[in-house]
A and B are shown apart, each in its own frame.
Chain A
Amino acid sequence: MSAPPRFAQRLVEVSAQQLAKFGSETPGIALAVLSSGDGFEIASHRADKAVSAKIAAMGSSLQALSEAITREAGLKDARRLIIESDNGCVLAMGIGGTNPSLSLVVVADKSASLGHLLWSAKICCTSISRAIAG
């Protein structure tokens, strides 16, 4: 007997659709992974399984650390974490109010505009949140 699927099929399908839309409409995205709060991949865009599984786990750790440090600093909810490098950037952000809790991790190359990336990522997260709530 196989274990039941970890996540609802609708969540997986909606997430894959939204990531594909986000990836196709936003310049510079190398890969994007949506993961559960505890680090399981739900959907990914332009990432093979070995990479996306690692990114999913790392993304959930980054999200949890972001929330922990904002909590300890007495700030309100963490919105996003941006890691900039010479060759691009990594963006990690939580999607509030969902069950399971979700995190989006995006890796972008240096052709990406950070402002455009943040704006598009926010729209992607809102779309996923609305779709699974509706």
Chain B
Amino acid sequence: MADAGELKIVFTGPMGAGKTTAIAAISDIAPIRTDVANNDHVAFDKEATTVALDYGQLALDDGLVMRLYGTPGQERFAFMRKILCAGAIGVVLLIDGSRADALTSLDAYVDEIRAFDPMPAMVVGIGRCPSADAPALVQSSAHLERLGLTLPVFSVDVRRREDVMLLIETLVCVIEAGAHTEENA
């Protein structure tokens, strides 16, 4: 098969949104992880948290290889997100839709991603939504529109490979549409 190239994709979002799980769900290799015991059970009650990066790889049917990087979610690790997002062509933003601060997190991460130059293509996955018309999902789309952003927003269960693949395939479409637009500009 001809070498179709590589894309750097970053999974980001707040602590507990499912970035590590999402990469594990689709990676062709055992992901490289840097998770350690979590001491901040007030922010999010889970056993382990990523402090540097996750890394996985995914080969698509056309030979395109995606290098998948996961970021830490806490504010104190913002420096890692800046490092990891350098050179990324696409970002999967994951938000926990069950949290009261879901829209605040969405705002903060969208602002962070928009600040990268050039701004990478982006899709948004809202996790832990009980239904397709769940408030977090509906409000997120509307909120992004108010910010002047038309982004694909999906309800996802990051444990399901098909859900994460939908995000990836959509992101590839957004990247290709962007490249096509630039070519014709």
Contacts and interface: CB of A to CB of B under 8 A. Distances in A.
Contacts of A100: 37, 39
A65 B76 contact: no
Main secondary structure of the interface of B (DSSP, over half): loop
Contact of A68 (B32, B40, B79): B32
Contacts of A127: none
A56 B39 CA distance: 14
Interface stretch (A33-41, A83-91, A115-123): A33-41
**Chain A, interface residues (CB within 8 Å), range:** 20 to 34
A54 B42 CA distance: 20
A38 B34 contact: no
Given A57-B79, A58-B79, A38 B52 contact: no
Contacts of A40: 39-40, 76
Interface string A53-91: 110111011101101100010000000000000000000
5 contacts: A61-B79, A62-B52, A65-B53, A67-B34, A101-B37
Interface of B: 32-40, 42, 49, 51-53, 72, 74, 76-77, 79-80
Interface of A: 3, 6-7, 36-40, 53-54, 56-58, 60-62, 64-65, 67-68, 72, 99-101
Given A36-B39, A39-B76, A61-B77, 14 more contacts: A37-B39, A37-B51, A38-B36, A38-B38, A38-B39, A38-B49, A39-B74, A40-B76, A60-B52, A61-B34, A64-B51, A64-B52, A68-B33, A101-B36
